[in-house]
Structure 1
Amino acid sequence: MNAPELSVVCRSCGEEVSPYVTECPYCGTRLRKRAPKLERRGDELQAQESRRDRKRRERAERRDRMAQYRTDVGEGERPYAVIIAILAPAMLVLVQRAADLPVSDLGAIVEPVGDEWWRYLAAPFVYPDVPYLFVCALGIAIFGSAVERRLGMIPTLVLMVAAGALGMLAADGIETAIGAESELLLAAGGNGVALGLLAAWAVLKAAELRAGLDEHAEVIGAAVCAAVLILLPLVEDFANVFAGLSGGLVGALCGYAASLARRERNPG
């Protein structure tokens, strides 16, 4: 059996003493009326905790886990993947405006893609106007930074490309299947990327709450952001509703897979 931990501080002399003694061995001050009851925990005998002490210890352990978790996710690191996902489209908007190019030349989808598969990868990062870019960039900055702190730069980049490209693929397939031949297919911009990051963050945050690594989540703020992104097609022709919803689904699946992987790495 291991030696007992010195965890009681004498109020008279300030020395740490065993929790199992009734008098301080250094100054003789009486610490308690009687020796504490002992209970076996694993291979050790420890003082039996009162309900109040147990709750206090559990709260302290939870605070320690939360502090360690915040350190592990690296809150101070710069979100380089998010910076790339915002600056690259902003530069494309400047080029498009300066050269007076149609957005279709940069990769926007304006008709069934056919064999131009590269448009699936390019379209999520091509914006026809600045307001659309601003709204999506705001969502990407908020939720992308939170996701990148948890997963890292490369997984976040992969998630954004997957949510955007698969969203455009779904938009092309669904619009082609249900739309009339005379209707124009329009799909571009990062509404699918932003919704994918939001969904991934929501799944990861829910896993953290269940594991006791966090205490609260900004549910109302996240719901407002989700509503704005989902309703973007009402005011922006290139914000395809199927691309947005499909991107959100991809992000949720990626977030769920990441939460399972993190739980297996850190079962405690």
Structure 2
Amino acid sequence: MIFIRYENWKSYLRYYPFTSLLLIANLVMFFILTFNGGSTNNGTLLEYGAVTNGEPFRGEWWRYIAAVFLHNGFDHLFFNSFGLLVIAPPLERILGTFKYALLYLLSGILGNIVSVSYYDKIGELTLLVGASGAIYGVYGAFLYIALFQRNMMDEASRKMLYTLLIMGILFSFAPGIGMVAHLSGMVCGFFIYGLLIRLGKQRQM
């Protein structure tokens, strides 16, 4: 089962350096928000990089990156950190740190871009934060593995992945959840992974 973590913290840091860095960055930004107005305060979120289609902030490109490291409340941080801590690490081993980082960040950024485009299309004001698009990009990559590289994933892990995806997709339709960022991040991760494995050699788990 590739989604069960057996490593101690020293091994975890050594095997998954970018995942560890992401976890630290998310925690640091959460504490910065907490002590500067609160992580659920829209003004604070906008100050530190939330994505919005509202003026005068729309079109500021740096927000599409910064928002990936911000979270709206502890629950939001907890669920995304769990996905990072437990589910994401095997992909860093499979792709290597650089390609994994590229997939993660691109999935999050593209998820935000698609989301803003969607809310512009329906004429609704939005404010977006969170690593969900990036994490769903990781899920999308694992879906590619489960479907097309079946020798790289055991049956128990495949079933667990499908369960996580079904639950995650259903959860995405709950009120207040960034459904578009989740789904577009997953689609981006699926195709980015397919592209990346054609650009170089993969590691085997």
TM-score normalised by structure 1 residue count: 0.61
Trace 1:124-203 onto structure 2 (pairs within 5 A).
124-179=68-123, 183-203=124-144
C-alpha contact 2:172 2:182 (8 A) present in aligned 1? no
Query: Which residue of 234, 237, 252 maps to 2:190?
Result: 252
In structure 2, distance between residues paired with 1:89 and 1:128: 11
C-alpha contact 1:147 1:156 (8 A) present in aligned 2? yes
Trace 1:48-197 onto structure 2 (pairs within 5 A).
77-100=14-37, 102-112=44-54, 113-179=57-123, 183-197=124-138
Q: 1:151 to 1:184 in 2, by over 3 A?
A: same
Highest RCO, 1 vs 2 (Cα 8 Å, sep ≥ 6): 2
Trace 1:40-55 onto structure 2 (pairs within 5 A).
none
Partner SS state of residue 99, structure 1? coil
C-alpha contact 1:204 1:259 (8 A) present in aligned 2? no
Trace 1:1-20 onto structure 2 (pairs within 5 A).
none
C-alpha contact 2:95 2:197 (8 A) present in aligned 1? no
Partner SS state of residue 71, structure 2? coil
Extract unaligned runs of 5+ from structure 1. 1-74
Extract unaligned runs of 5+ from structure 2. 1-10, 39-43
C-alpha contact 1:204 1:256 (8 A) present in aligned 2? no
In structure 2, distance between residues paired with 1:214 and 1:175: 37
Percent of matched pairs sharing the same residue: 21
Partner SS state of residue 149, structure 2? helix
Partner SS state of residue 186, structure 2? helix
| Cα displacement string for residues 151-185 of structure 1 (whole angstroms, at most 9, x for unaligned residues) | 11111111111000010000111111112xxx431
Please give the root-mean-square deviation of Cα atoms over the aligned residues, in Å.
Answer: 2.5
Which amino acid in the other structure matches residue 142 of structure 2? W
Partner SS state of residue 234, structure 1? coil
User: How far did 1:215 drift?
Assistant: 4.6
In structure 2, distance between residues paired with 1:196 and 1:214: 17
Which amino acid in the other structure matches residue 116 of structure 1? E
C-alpha contact 2:145 2:153 (8 A) present in aligned 1? no
TM-score normalised by structure 2 residue count: 0.79
Which amino acid in the other structure matches residue 98 of structure 1? F
Which amino acid in the other structure matches residue 124 of structure 1? V
User: How far did 1:124 drift?
Assistant: 1.6
Aligned to 1:59: none
Q: 1:217 to 1:205 in 2, by over 3 A?
A: farther
In structure 2, distance between residues paired with 1:90 and 1:171: 24
Query: Which residue of 142, 149, 153 maps to 1:208?
Result: 149
Which amino acid in the other structure matches residue 244 of structure 1? H
